[in-house]
Structure 1
């Protein structure tokens, strides 16, 4: 069984499996600021869920270091007992949540198991700002592929996974987002990236994430090239999406399988 619920219209999720309930990248209040507000500041256009509306959870998965994923203010309010994420965020987790147990993932620690659910780490191929990793969450019967910035597939690591349960759900951005090379280059590959992931994992359901049209301010937004994906109607006409696409543009708990 997989149930999911948006916590905001960007990249924050509640995921419920048979034996585990988790939050992904919770950001429920305020802005996210990368280094300085003059450099990059973003905030939600659509209000997120309130703290009292968040379902009970066992663990928080933080997919990367930037504050639209690792939102310190939200995490301090939630006070999770367990946090999983890339090894690179360990110190930050311990600073923000000194009492939380941190469960690391990395190229050396490729998988971790919590309550019968295995989390596989799929490292990005990027060499510049190499943070856009993907995660495969496998409960033994079915899997979720979570690629919050799209994912340039590294078949070396796909092969290293060995056997994993069929992918029921793929969660990845549909919008194309690019910055100049000195600011990181392609941040999200858009629909072409979605297509490649669907070809590789053959998911039964594809849900967009990290595509909110947020309020933005600062230098980064001046350089950004954003190509928003097609309308829901047009997306459903694509042969490789017509039977799997679910926009989930609401805050209701939704059963996927």
Structure 2
């Protein structure tokens, strides 16, 4: 069984998979600042859920090392007992949450299990920042593909993974977001990236994520090229998407399977 709930209108989620209860990339207050506010500062247009409205959870998954995913102020408030994420944030997590258990991933440690659920780390082929990885979360009956920046997947690794449960849910951005090469290039590949992932994983349901039209200031926002995806009605007319597309533009807990 899979249930999901938005915690903000960007990329923060509550996920139930079988008996495991998971928070993904919680960012519930304040701004995202990359390096300096004059370089990149973004903040929510739609207020996130309040802290006392967050469902009870077992573990927090941080998908990327960047502050819109790894939001330190939110983590300090939440004080989770278990955190999973890339090895690159281990020391920073331990500074914020010295008592928390940290479960890490890297290109040599690509699989971890929590309460009978297996987390497969899907590293990108990119080797220079910004590096956007993804995850496949498998309870033995069904799985979730979580690709929070679209994805330049290393398909060689997927073949090496061997068998995994059918993908019920794909969560990935629909908007196209690109910066000049010197600022990192493609941040999200848009619908073409969704199509590639859908062809690879054949999901039952596709939910857009990380597409919030945030307030933004700084150099990054001046150079960003953003192409928003189509309307809901037009997305449902796309042959490879029409039967699987499910927008969630609310904060209600939704049963997926």
TM-score (norm 1): 0.99
Q: Tell me how far 1:153 sits from its aligned partner.
A: 2.2
Cα displacement string for residues 175-202 of structure 1 (whole angstroms, at most 9, x for unaligned residues)? 0000011110001000000000000000
Alignment gaps of 5+ in structure 1: none
Cα displacement string for residues 136-188 of structure 1 (whole angstroms, at most 9, x for unaligned residues)? 00001000000000111212111111100000000000000000111100010
Q: Is the 8 A contact 1:116 1:139 kept in 2?
A: yes
Question: Aligned residue for 2:149?
Answer: 149
Cα displacement string for residues 45-90 of structure 1 (whole angstroms, at most 9, x for unaligned residues)? 0000000000000000001111100000000000000000111111
- 1:194 is paired with a residue whose SS is helix
Cα displacement string for residues 113-139 of structure 1 (whole angstroms, at most 9, x for unaligned residues)? 000000000000112215200100000
Q: Is the 8 A contact 2:168 2:203 kept in 1?
A: yes
Question: Aligned residue for 2:7?
Answer: 7
Is 1:39 the equivalent of 2:39?
A: yes
Moved >2 Å (runs of 4+): none
Q: Is the 8 A contact 1:124 1:130 kept in 2?
A: no
Q: Is the 8 A contact 2:130 2:184 kept in 1?
A: no
Question: Aligned residue for 2:218?
Answer: 218
After TM superposition, the structure 1 = structure 2 runs for residues 38-187 of structure 1, keeping only pairs within 5 Å, are: 38-187=38-187
Question: Aligned residue for 2:19?
Answer: 19
Supply the distance in 2 between the matched residues of 1:5 and 1:251 (Cα, whole angstroms).
6
Q: Is the 8 A contact 1:27 1:68 kept in 2?
A: yes
Q: Is the 8 A contact 2:63 2:86 kept in 1?
A: yes
TM-score (norm 2): 0.99
Alignment gaps of 5+ in structure 2: none
Equivalent pairs counted in the alignment come to 257
Cα displacement string for residues 183-235 of structure 1 (whole angstroms, at most 9, x for unaligned residues)? 10001000000000000000000000000000000111010000100000000
Shifted more, 92-101 versus 124-133: the winner is 124-133
